[in-house]
């Protein structure tokens, strides 16, 4: 679990620390100025809340699962995307709060954000294969078990297919 509570940080500082992990992914996907807001997920079925001010931005939301104190609840730090719904006022139930209405969004509407398929092989020279000397035990385990546990995204994508 990624904890941001080892010193007294403001909510804004904690969110910035969480966002830093995802910056390379945003950059590789050419997502400039993303609306990133980590969210608490709860209930059965799982839901999260979005404030009116977030909805009014008219942008897709990028999020990850966090606690009330903005500590990540996911050791893999999975980044999710909620696609903006122009008709959000009719599409979602609301709950009132001191900050105005909060929209109740089902977790199932989130999609996992992954590297663009266009950058499937992040090998220095795409005309050559990766050197055998760069193979790790984790990579071998991924290939033998058929599970995408490698730290090489391109290898995990091959295994998933």
111-135 residues labelled b (16+ CB within 10 A) or e (exposed): eebebeeeeebeeeeeeeebeeeee
What kind and span of H or E run contains 90? helix 88-91
The total number of structural domains that make up the chain: 2
- Rounded Cα distance between 63 and 65, Å, is 7
Comparing 10-24, 76-90, 122-136, the range with the smallest average pLDDT is 122-136
Find all residues with CB under 8 Å of 100, minimum gap 6, and list them: 51, 52, 53
Is residue 146, in this structure, part of any structural domain at all?
yes
Same domain, 101 and 144: no
Residue numbers of the domain that contains 64: 11-114
Q: Are 132 and 86 in a shared domain?
A: no
Q: How confident is the model over 100-148, as pLDDT tens digits? A: 899 999 999 999 998 754 444 455 455 566 667 778 888 888 889 888 8
3-state secondary structure string across 25-54: HHHHCCCCCCEECCECCECCCCEEEEEHHH
Quick one: pLDDT at residue 135? 82
Q: Are 156 and 138 in contact (CB under 8 A)?
A: no
Residue pair 83/50 in contact by the 8 Å Cβ criterion? no
Residue 6 within any structural domain of the chain? no
Give yes or no: residues 106 and 128 share one domain: no
Average pLDDT over residues 67-85: 92
Judge if 21 and 83 occupy the same domain: yes
pTM of the model: 0.68
């Amino acid at each position: 679990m990624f904890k941001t509570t080892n010193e007294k940080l403001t909510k804004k500082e904690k969110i910035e620390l969480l966002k830093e992990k995802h910056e390379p992914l945003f950059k590789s996907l050419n997502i400039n100025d993303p609306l990133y807001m980590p969210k608490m997920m709860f209930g059965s079925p799982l839901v999260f809340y979005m404030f009116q001010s977030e909805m009014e931005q008219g942008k897709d939301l990028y999020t990850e699962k966090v606690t009330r104190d903005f500590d990540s609840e996911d050791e893999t730090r999975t980044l999710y995307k909620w696609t903006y719904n122009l008709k959000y006022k009719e599409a979602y139930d609301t709950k009132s709060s001191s900050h105005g209405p909060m929209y109740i969004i089902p977790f199932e509407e989130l999609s996992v954000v992954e590297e663009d398929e266009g950058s499937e092989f992040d090998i220095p020279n795409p005309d050559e294969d990766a050197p055998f000397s760069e193979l790790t035990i984790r990579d071998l385990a991924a290939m033998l078990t058929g599970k995408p546990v490698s730290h090489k995204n391109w290898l995990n994508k091959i295994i998933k297919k």
